[in-house]
């Protein structure tokens, strides 16, 4: 399978790195400043190319530029998309751009998989939500999932849910990092060395998330399991409730969602 990445920045680079874990993938890396693509190729393998070759020579063409750069990037390759004879799939990670908009910008009804990835893709623990256009065959979808399996967990969604899914999955790492920082601060305030406090907080979050995914337990049940009667955990829970911890997070998700709708 040949996968090309146009734009090897934070997200395109992380996805290319995940793709490099599958030995059956051959990678083509294109970036406005090619030295950035070369640095990535030195790390993960693959061949540096220009945008045109990325469009003409790959089975899956990943679009990894910022939304405001998309039009300029497509100017030189639109015709190559339109005239390609062999089968290919466009994989767009461009935030806020629908499948219909991507097809309109390319100027043809190419098969498009719209993905909503997040930064933990970089360590193979990403949450990758995706939507397929009508033109994407089962074989194309399966090929995509196999090629990108090293990126993390995949879930197919309806496009009408893309914006809110991208907030929970994509903005979430920022909220989670704030929670981790605050847990570590609390530990430091009570005498823990910073490094140790961060390690304990991070592993605690990783383990809790894994427990929830593997046991399918409701988070409320998981919370209750830690709160022994008259114990210390319930005092922390009481304090969080007093300071509107859950309401703050619900409001944060709604605020990010409303902003997403205004882009």
- The set of residues, in sequence order, having a beta carbon less than 8 Å from that of 80 and lying 6+ positions away, is 52, 55, 56
**By CB under 6 A, which span of 90-98, 137-145, 180-188, 195-203 interacts with ligand NAP?**
90-98
Q: Does 66 bind ligand NAP (CB under 6 A)?
A: yes
Taking CB under 6 A as the criterion, which residues in 158-187 touch ligand NAP?
A: 170
Complex with ligand NAP: residue 111 or 170, whichever CB lies closer: 170
In order of 98, 113, 144, the CA distances from 141 in angstroms are 18, 8, 5
Can you give the length of the chain in residues?
A: 263
Give the phi and the psi of residue 130 in degrees, each rounded to 5.
-145, 155
Q: Does 95 bind ligand NAP (CB under 6 A)?
A: yes
Complex with ligand NAP: residue 111 or 120, whichever CB lies closer: 120
Identified binder of ligand NAP from the candidate list 4, 25, 31, 89, rule CB under 6 A: 31
Please state the closest distance from residue 161 (CB atom) to ligand NAP, in A: 15
CA–CA dist 125, 109 (Å, integer): 32
List the strands of the sheet with 152-156, edge to edge.
Answer: 47-48, 26-30, 2-6, 60-63, 89-92, 112-116, 126-132, 152-156
Complex with ligand NAP: residue 237 or 252, whichever CB lies closer: 252
Residues binding ligand NAP: number (CB under 6 A): 27
Complex with ligand NAP: residue 49 or 147, whichever CB lies closer: 49
DSSP E strands in 96-210: the ranges are 112-116, 126-132, 152-156
**By CB under 6 A, which span of 9-17, 122-130, 145-153, 225-233 interacts with ligand NAP?**
9-17
Complex with ligand NAP: residue 52 or 202, whichever CB lies closer: 52
Please state the closest distance from residue 144 (CB atom) to ligand NAP, in A: 16
Q: Does 71 bind ligand NAP (CB under 6 A)?
A: no
Closest C-alpha among 44, 48, 43, 61 to residue 2: 61
- Alpha carbon of residue 43 to chain centroid: 21
Please state the closest distance from residue 81 (CB atom) to ligand NAP, in A: 14
Complex with ligand NAP: residue 40 or 147, whichever CB lies closer: 40
**By CB under 6 A, which span of 1-9, 106-114, 123-131, 175-183 interacts with ligand NAP?**
1-9
Contact by Cβ (8 Å): 3, 26: yes
In order of 11, 54, 104, the CA distances from 127 in angstroms are 12, 25, 27
Complex with ligand NAP: residue 32 or 78, whichever CB lies closer: 32
Taking CB under 6 A as the criterion, which residues in 44-63 touch ligand NAP?
A: 51
Q: Residues of 193-231 as b/e, b for ≥16 C-beta within 10 angstroms? A: eeeebbeebeeeeeeeeeeeeeeeeeeeeeeeeeeeeee
Judged by the rule CB under 6 A, the positions of this chain that interact with ligand NAP are 6-12, 30-33, 36, 51, 64-67, 69, 72-73, 93-95, 117-119, 170
């Amino acid at each position: 399978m040949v996968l090309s990445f146009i734009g090897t920045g934070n997200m395109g680079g992380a996805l290319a790195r995940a793709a490099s874990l599958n030995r059956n993938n051959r990678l083509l890396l294109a970036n406005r400043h090619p030295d950035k693509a070369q640095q990535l190729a030195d790390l993960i393998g693959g061949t540096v190319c220009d945008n045109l070759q990325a469009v003409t020579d790959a089975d899956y063409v990943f679009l990894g530029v910022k939304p405001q750069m998309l039009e300029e990037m497509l100017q030189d390759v639109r015709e190559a998309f339109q005239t390609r004879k062999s089968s290919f799939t466009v994989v767009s990670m461009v935030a806020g751009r629908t499948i219909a908009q991507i097809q309109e910008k390319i100027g043809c009804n190419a098969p498009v998989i719209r993905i909503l990835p997040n930064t933990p893709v970089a360590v193979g623990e990403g949450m990758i939500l995706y939507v397929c256009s009508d033109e994407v065959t089962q074989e194309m979808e399966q090929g995509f999932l196999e090629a990108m399996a090293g990126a993390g967990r995949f879930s197919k969604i309806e496009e009408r849910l893309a914006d809110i899914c991208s907030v929970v999955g994509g903005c979430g790492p920022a909220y989670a990092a704030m929670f981790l920082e605050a847990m570590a601060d609390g530990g430091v305030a009570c005498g823990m060395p910073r490094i140790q406090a961060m390690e304990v907080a991070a592993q605690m979050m990783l383990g809790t998330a894994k427990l929830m995914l593997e046991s399918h337990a409701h988070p409320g049940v998981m919370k209750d399991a830690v709160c022994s009667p008259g114990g210390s955990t319930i005092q922390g829970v009481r304090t969080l409730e007093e300071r509107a911890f859950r309401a703050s997070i619900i409001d944060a998700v709604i605020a990010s969602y409303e902003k997403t709708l205004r882009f």
